[in-house]
Amino acid sequence: MNEEEKQKSFDEEEKRIKENISKISHRIAVFSGKGGVGKTTVSVNLAYGLQMDGLSTGLLDADITGPNVAKMLGINNELIVVDSKMIPFEKFGVKMISIASLIESGQPVIWRGPMRSKIISQFLADVEWGELDYLIADLPPGTGDEILTIAQQMKPDYAVVVTTPQEVSVIDAERAINMAKKLEIPFIGVVENMSGFVCPHCSAVIELFGSGGGKKLADDYEVPFLGSIPIDIDARIMGDMGKPIVLEKPESEVSTAFKSILDIMDKHYHNEFQSN
């Protein structure tokens, strides 16, 4: 393929992305400065919290080297392609796409940044998302190429930065906030995950990783603090079983926390529309 053909192919893909994105009302990117903070758990349960409110929602697993969304939804089918369009899986009413459906279980994705970015562009251009109220992208940890691709192509209007209370996580989350600001994402909010362990016997909360790190981070950077999510054994069990806790245990403390986070985010959107 010569340079002219490459440019034509790129332009055609850009056109398909714009067409797809134009049908999606809101686009949320879930960031984390480091791995292991529960970013995918947050992404999945936010998506189902929105779906439970009657909003059409999609999940894009943009963590190409560590795709976990399919596991958390119990999806292990092969991807279906019809007329050059990838058909997203639909589980419990939410549409989802992940590279996990294109590789054998346990196989590493040993790709350089441009290849990882390319598959994300394809997920935006060539997946039959249809009309959606929300599309949530579960990003890889850090500040790499894939995040730039999401910002440029998906054009998120909300960045949810996930951290745990401990200082090492908060330090990395600072980088995620600064990146979201440099990418000029209109709304940025912080979620503190693993904010205390709920004892299954007495319901007491034990602060395993400390507390308040996420709130202080949000205050320091003058962005909204969206809320704290406690550790709950059931959330881990449900995730391993492919069942989001907001669906399985809607009255749990974790589910209540997700509902509160979504209420705050909705107010931000609502206030923006009023101001315009």
Q: What separation in angstroms does the CA of 117 have from each of 58, 162, 176?
A: 19, 22, 18
pLDDT in tens, 145-170: 889 999 999 999 999 999 998 888 88
Backbone angles phi, psi at 90, to 5 degrees: -125, 120
CA 61 to centroid of chain Cα atoms = 7
Assess contact for 55 and 262: CB atoms under 8 A.
no
Q: Which residues, listed in sequence order, are joined to residue 86 by a DSSP beta bridge?
A: 81, 127
The full set of domains in the chain, from first to last, is 9-275 (3.40.50.300)
- Helix, strand or coil, per DSSP, at residue 119: helix
Q: Assess whether pLDDT exceeds 80 at residue 118.
A: yes
Assess contact for 262 and 134: CB atoms under 8 A.
no
Cβ density class 136-164: b for 16+ within 10 Å, e for less: bbbbbbbbebbbebbbebbbbbbbbbbbb
pLDDT in tens, 158-212: 999 999 988 888 899 999 999 999 999 999 999 999 987 767 777 777 777 767 8
Joined together, the tokens standing for residue 227 give: 């809320």
